[in-house]
Structure 1
Amino acid sequence: MASTRARRTWVSVAVGGLIAMAAIAPDVAAAPSLPRTTLALPRTTLASGTVPVKPEEPRPPLLPADFQATGRYIVRDLGIDVPFTWQGRNGDSQMTAGGPEYPIWFTNLIFHNTLYTLTYKWPNIPLFPPRRCDSLGFFNRQILNDKLKTSRFVGPEILQGNKDRYVNHWRVGVVVGSTRPGEFPRLPIGQADVYVDQRDPSQWVQVLHFGLQNLFDPELDEWFTLATFDRRPGQVTLPDRCPPPTS
């Protein structure tokens, strides 16, 4: 999906905290033709003049330690739609898209506190012999979940397909450079839209990721969508060509 060193680093995306907007109570006298009983008071103001407790926002996405998921990996500008698996075991995890018989084939792993990426095949990119497996450094599930805690809640949505899926939509992103807005240089390098089950934020449904982590894709954006997601421990296997974990 991206140059081997920059590839598949969707796991490093993060943004600032949740934002909530409140409405100001309208002037009831501005609508004299309507009975006062038909004008609902806005959530931010009660008749007593007190402010109610803000509704609790949903919990952000969370990657569980053990899971098995299956679905599709989609690169629409290349007309690619291939099988996709994502499995976790004891905090390690592995994504695999496509395979030897498909136009793309790659795997990404979090294995023993190390992030790996290995791309076997990609359209119009010479990968023969296939690229080496790159270790992208120290990374683990805890770091990912800490990043996800800072994601921004977009809102509840319904994904329509063979059946409606009720999800919460979150956005996460990463900017390199100065941590203070307005200072130079700052460079946005990626973002992801994460959709999780409304009742269980650790059940992932769909992810769109966009940015420098997608350098192999002309439009810099790719999807994975999951048809199944359950809590049985999966299989996580480090390919032989990958170097030993850093820790």
Structure 2
Amino acid sequence: MGWRLTRRTAVSAVIAGAITVVTAGLPPVGAGTRAEAAPSLGTVAAPAPPPVPVAAATEGRHGTGTPLPPRLPRNFRGTGKWIVRDLGITVPFTWEGRDGESQMTAGGPQYPIWFTNLIYRDTLYTLTYKWPGVTEHPCSRFPGFNLEQLNEGLAGARFVGREVLQGNPDRRVNHWRVGVVRPQLPPGAYPRLPLALGDIYVDQRDRGTFWQVLQFGIQNLYDPELDEWAVMDTFERTPGTVTLPPRCASPASPASPASPA
């Protein structure tokens, strides 16, 4: 799943992208959330969802009744929007997977933002073609990363709760939080810095259907407020298309993180 990334850890990178990452901020317009609480006076409760399959309701590591954490499938195809709220920019977004490889693409040559992230042949790639105020556009590689490692990282996500993404249609989701905090120290009054956080919203009936991701942290250094959204309109379990850009296939591409993408 990947996301725009340089100078980031693998898990924070994907989550685009997969996998998306939030400390604060309002949801994008048309993609808000509300808790599934009891109705107040003058409101109507949402109809109860159909029974969840046993496999999706298995007890997670967080305790009885906690759903299983997000898991990006090997084959999928999704479309939606990439939203950078503080810049007032929203561009088309696609996220596709095929045989364990995956690719995120936001924008295009006609838009103010255009980038792609890939997990391809055990390597994580990020390439930013266009971003306001950015003139250097290297393709950065992070060897030794694949879908299995991404899902291992997602397995450690913390369950936030069951919510409804309000839109057309409303979507019942499980909200998860992943993050990277340094230094890693035991509980207590120690100075800590949240380097990268990701909020992931997956379908309550299918933990492999990703509807929304918020990324926040150093992986978003191009954005003044350090946060970017992926909001999906469609997400299907059919094989997508993954294409490594020629610039990333070139031997001249850096083999280690470069400037932020």
Distance verdict in 2 for CA 1:169–1:182, change over 3 Å = same
1:84 offset after TM fit, Å?
0.2
Deviation sequence 1:29-72 (CA, Å, 0-9, x none): xxxxxxxxxxxxxxxxxxxxxxxxx6421111110000000000
1:175 offset after TM fit, Å?
2.0
- Counterpart position of 1:81: 90
- Counterpart position of 1:118: 127
Runs of 5+ consecutive residues of structure 2 not aligned to the other structure: 22-62, 256-261
Q: TM-score, normalised by structure 2?
A: 0.71
Please, which of 105, 130, 139 is the counterpart of residue 114 of structure 2? 105
Of structures 1 and 2, the larger Rg is shown by 1
- Counterpart position of 2:231: 225
SS in 1 for 2:111: coil
1:232 offset after TM fit, Å?
1.0
SS in 2 for 1:237: coil
1:125 offset after TM fit, Å?
1.8
Please, which of 200, 206, 213 is the counterpart of residue 206 of structure 2? 200
1:183 offset after TM fit, Å?
8.8
Structure 2 contact 6–140 (Cα < 8 Å) conserved: yes
Aligned pair 1:94/2:103, yes or no? yes
CA distance in 1, matches of 2:64, 2:5: 43
CA distance in 2, matches of 1:221, 1:156: 23
CA distance in 1, matches of 2:180, 2:6: 19
Counterparts of 1:3-82 in structure 2, within 5 Å, are 4-6=6-8, 9-11=12-14, 55-82=64-91
Please, which of 160, 164, 168 is the counterpart of residue 166 of structure 2? 160
Please, which of 216, 219, 225 is the counterpart of residue 210 of structure 1? 216
CA distance in 1, matches of 2:140, 2:79: 25
> What fraction of aligned residue pairs are identical, expressed as a percent?
59
Q: TM-score, normalised by structure 1?
A: 0.75
CA distance in 1, matches of 2:75, 2:84: 27
CA distance in 2, matches of 1:187, 1:224: 24
- Counterpart position of 1:178: 184
1:186 offset after TM fit, Å?
4.8
CA distance in 2, matches of 1:222, 1:200: 24
SS in 2 for 1:201: strand
SS in 2 for 1:203: strand
CA distance in 2, matches of 1:117, 1:145: 19
Q: What amino acid does structure 2 have at the position aligned with 1:156? A: R
Runs of 5+ consecutive residues of structure 1 not aligned to the other structure: 16-53
- Counterpart position of 2:175: 169
Deviation sequence 1:166-198 (CA, Å, 0-9, x none): 101000101233353459775321000000000
State the Cα RMSD in Å. Answer: 2.6
